[in-house]
Amino acid sequence: MTTEPAIPAPGSVADAYPPPEIAARVCKLGLAKVNTAVPTMLALAVLAGAFISLGALFYTVTITVGKEGPTLPFGLLRLVGGMTFSLGLILVVVGGAELFTGNNLIAMAWATGCVQTRQVVRNWLWVYLGNLLGAVGTAVLVLLAGVQTLGDGAVGETMVRIARSKIALDPMAAFARGMLCNVLVCLAVWLCMGARTVADKILAILFPISAFVACGFEHSVANMFFLPLGLALAAGGPASFSIADALSNLALVTLGNIIGGTVLVALVYWFIYLRTAPQTR
């Protein structure tokens, strides 16, 4: 006689939180985020900028092709690069940090009336600044450590090539790639809010983040790391570009990230699960 494995009852600790419960948890977390003291918020944001930069650095080393040429087909190399880049969001979610793109989900709490517009803007501004400081600081440390010399300088060439590819995007492409990127980032965070264990959270992060990286979408905080590196390494050479080029890309990608995260994820899920909740604003 065989015994079928027991199926966990709904709501047990072996189950993920269902989507309506995820929505409520996202709103509760959004309220906590906007009420965080500024020094704490800024410190956590600096950490997030550094964490995403470490994932971006891991990605850069992974996709660097040596003198022997690529050993993996294009798609597989991008997939592996995306998996390594996932380190950044894993550190943010599991280690605890404040990431601007993920915090676009606070729009759910705003739409339900839990938080005020000024609170959302305050959080986004401080977190964006902290992410920038963490990313640029990490870029400086990477340069001081000489990571760009790995592979007989091939890693440095990859760093410049990544930065150049970003500023070469036309404005609409940069904006659209920013939107698509943060749809996947916010969905990864959404899935994490449904997870109950660290292993579940890591698995929830891995596929959405790998997808956005493999597809070449644009993440503003990652670009805060890639663009300063490219500027420093290409300065004075034929591949050099201007600070204005970098700022233009960052502005377009940031705007795309905001629209993708708030309108296409946060407000869509608000409409589905929370639009009938009492308004408290």
pLDDT of residue 173: 98
Q: Determine contact, residues 224/49, Cβ cutoff 8 Å.
A: yes
Q: Which residues contact 204 (CB under 8 A, 6 or more apart)?
A: 188, 191, 192, 194, 195
- Measure the CA–CA gap between 76 and 27, rounded to whole angstroms: 37
First-to-final CA distance of the chain = 60
Mean pLDDT in residue range 38-43? 98
Domains in the chain: boundaries: 19-64+73-274
pLDDT of residue 84: 97
- Measure the CA–CA gap between 128 and 42, rounded to whole angstroms: 9
* 157-209 pLDDT tens trace: 999 999 999 999 999 999 999 999 999 999 999 999 999 999 999 999 999 99
What's the token pair of residue 84? 């390594």
Mean pLDDT in residue range 50-70? 89
pLDDT of residue 1: 42
Q: Determine contact, residues 204/192, Cβ cutoff 8 Å.
A: yes
Q: Determine contact, residues 220/100, Cβ cutoff 8 Å.
A: yes
Q: What percent of the chain has pLDDT over 90?
A: 85
- Measure the CA–CA gap between 79 and 212, rounded to whole angstroms: 10
pLDDT of residue 240: 85
In the chain, the amino acid numbered 37 is: A
Supply the pTM of this predicted model.
0.92
Burial class of residue 79 (count of CB atoms within 10 Å of its CB; 0-12, 13-18, 19+): middle
**In terms of CATH, what superfamily is 19-64+73-274?**
Glycerol uptake facilitator protein. (1.20.1080.10)
For residue 251, what are the CA distances in angstroms to 167, 192, 255, 261, 263? Answer: 11, 28, 6, 15, 18
* 200-253 pLDDT tens trace: 999 999 999 999 999 999 999 999 999 999 999 998 788 788 999 999 999 999
* 105-158 pLDDT tens trace: 999 999 999 999 999 999 999 999 999 999 999 999 999 999 999 999 999 999
Q: Determine contact, residues 208/83, Cβ cutoff 8 Å.
A: no
* 4-35 pLDDT tens trace: 444 445 555 568 899 999 999 999 999 999 99
Work out the mean pLDDT of the chain and round it to a whole number.
92
pLDDT of residue 277: 66
pLDDT of residue 70: 65
Nearest by Cα to 181 from 246, 257, 108: 257
pLDDT of residue 189: 97
Nearest by Cα to 98 from 128, 78, 54, 70: 128
